[in-house]
Chain A
Amino acid sequence: MNENYNISSSPHIRAKVTSGNIMLMVVIALLPATIFGIYNFRHENAWLLVVVTTVSAVLAEYIYERLMHKPITIKDCSALVTGLLLALNLPPTLPLWMGVLGSVFAIIVVKQLFGGLGQNFMNPALGARCFLLISFTGRMTYFVYDGVTGATPLAELKAGETVNTMNMLLGNIRGTIGETSVLAIMLGAMFLLLLGVIDLRIPGTYIVTFVIFITIFGGHGFDPQYITAHLCGGGLMLGAWFMATDYVTSPITKRGQIVYGICLGLLTGLFRLFGGSAEGVSYAIIISNLLVPLIEKVTLPKPFGKGGEK
């Protein structure tokens, strides 16, 4: 999708940035988390699930566009990003065909049926994750680390047990393929921040709101160990840096991005503390995605020279 889109009147800034470039940078930024995940879950053959899910996302896009006689857009790497993000959001023991089903759902139902890249109303990877989570709840919450099955640290935390925060930071824990290592995720996020692909507005407000919510309602007061465990556990970091910042499904207005971040933080806190399951990042992001058009409408900036309110 490298054609030019004019979204407002001149003056325009010329840049060589294309969707393809940006998506490629996101893929590079996801590599540390991916490689760590594959290494971390080497006994569960996580690499196979990652490869199959990613390839099937790209193939689904190609086949759909071929059949519908549309321009083939697999070169812009957006399907690659979707497939990879979906794979990072799956538990390593998931049967391969479920990964394929998730990819096909993400690309065809969430993305292409609504008009392709730029038109999807929610993050395709997360849409597919929730689809799989609702369909195969048992499989999607079956976590293994080093051959031992058990609850994720976040679930243990919710049950009131103590967890090892250091392991959560490094990633030697149970979880989905890409979410365990906060260190690897932050490495990629730093890369994107330095290149200016994402900025701090959405992840920053998201995390700050979440911390405030946890402090007030968590029942532990301002307990750094508890808060760190919540921040490092589950998909919060992966979601905040890589999925909440998706250009298509986040507000384009600056004030809107802050409102969006606050929504995310509140919803995640609400789901984690008061919801039925321990994790709530993917539902929080999807619901906030749906709020984006409304947020943009109320935070529309006034054009320069329009004057004050009458």
Chain B
Amino acid sequence: MNKNTERLYNGLVKENPTFVLMLGMCPTLAVTTSAINGIGMGLSTTVVLVLSNMLISMLRKIIPDSVRMPAFIVVVASFVTMVQFLLEGFVPSLYDSLGIYIPLIVVNCIILGRAESYASKNPVVPSIFDGIGMGLGFTVGLTAIGIVREIVGSGKVFDIQILPDSYEPITIFILAPGAFFVLAALTALQNKVKKKAAAKGDPIAEKIGCGSGCATCGKKESCGGGMFIDVRPEPKKAVKNEKE
């Protein structure tokens, strides 16, 4: 697989920030009351992520190691401010419903995490693709949660009534506890799907994420940061684990 498409695949499926890395949980739980909010939040984060990954990757040889965190924050905050003004100007309704969570993109773990573990160590083009992959992965996660919560909690998708009027919405799903229920259920579902694919020897099993962050990993020299060490379990073992 080409390195750039590998980055996309990595962000969307293998290291999906919402369901696998469990990063950026605050916006994930707070804004996904409807599908449109999920998409809006996901795409805003994607834009910031791609631009900040690009700029940080360009500046990676200039930024001194000891002050890299403040430098990253400055870069990210500038882009977030731009996105915030654009949203306020062109989609005020989305801006109102996302509220405080737009400025909070600055401290989103995904953005700082990708800057730290990928963009600051890799060339510009793969960094951009890493940003796109991670951002789309986040968008897909948020939209999926938003769709489920909106259907169950108000009988609609994207504000279009799809369930009959006789359906009584289970309001708890568009309140805070519902976010946890849906996140947990969808994470369990994708684990189940991936486990099945892994047991069948699907390509997903070829490279399994090493599970630890690259920042603390001793082997990052050999894998190049963001790459994976093949720690595929024996297929037999995977089947056995499933039954346990």
Q: A: which residues have CB within 8 A of B?
A: 69, 95, 98, 101, 109, 131, 134-137, 139
Contact = CB atoms under 8 A, between A and B. Distances in A.
B172 A134 contact: yes
Contact of B243 (A69, A109, A131, A135): A69
A135 B172 contact: yes
B181 A136 contact: no
Interface SS majority for chain B: helix
A69 B181 CA distance: 23
Nearest to A95: B168
Chain B contact-residue range equals 10 to 19
Contacts of B175: 134
A131 B172 contact: yes
B5 interface: no
A136 B177 contact: no
B181 A137 contact: no
B190 interface: no
Contacts of A136: 168, 170-171
Interface string B58-99: 000000000000000000000000000000000000000000
A101 B169 CA distance: 12
Contacts of A131: 172, 177
Contact of A109 (B169, B170, B171, B181): B181
**Which of A98, A109, A135, A137 has its CB near the most chain B CB atoms (within 10 A)?**
A135
- Which are the 4 A-B pairs with shortest beta-carbon distances? A135-B172, A135-B170, A134-B172, A135-B171
Contacts of B177: 131, 134
Interface of B: 168-173, 175, 177, 181, 243
Nearest to B176: A134
B185 to A, nearest CB: 10
Nearest to B168: A136
21 contacts: A69-B243, A95-B168, A98-B168, A101-B170, A109-B181, A131-B172, A131-B177, A134-B171, A134-B172, A134-B175, A134-B177, A135-B169, A135-B170, A135-B171, A135-B172, A135-B173, A136-B168, A136-B170, A136-B171, A137-B171, A139-B168
A137 B172 CA distance: 10
Contacts of A69: 243
Contacts of B171: 134-137
B16 to A, nearest CB: 22
Nearest to B177: A134
A141 to B, nearest CB: 13
Given A95-B168, A131-B172, A135-B169, 9 more contacts: A101-B170, A109-B181, A131-B177, A134-B175, A134-B177, A135-B171, A136-B170, A136-B171, A139-B168
A5 to B, nearest CB: 21
B119 to A, nearest CB: 38
Contacts of B172: 131, 134-135
A136 B170 CA distance: 7
Contacts of A135: 169-173
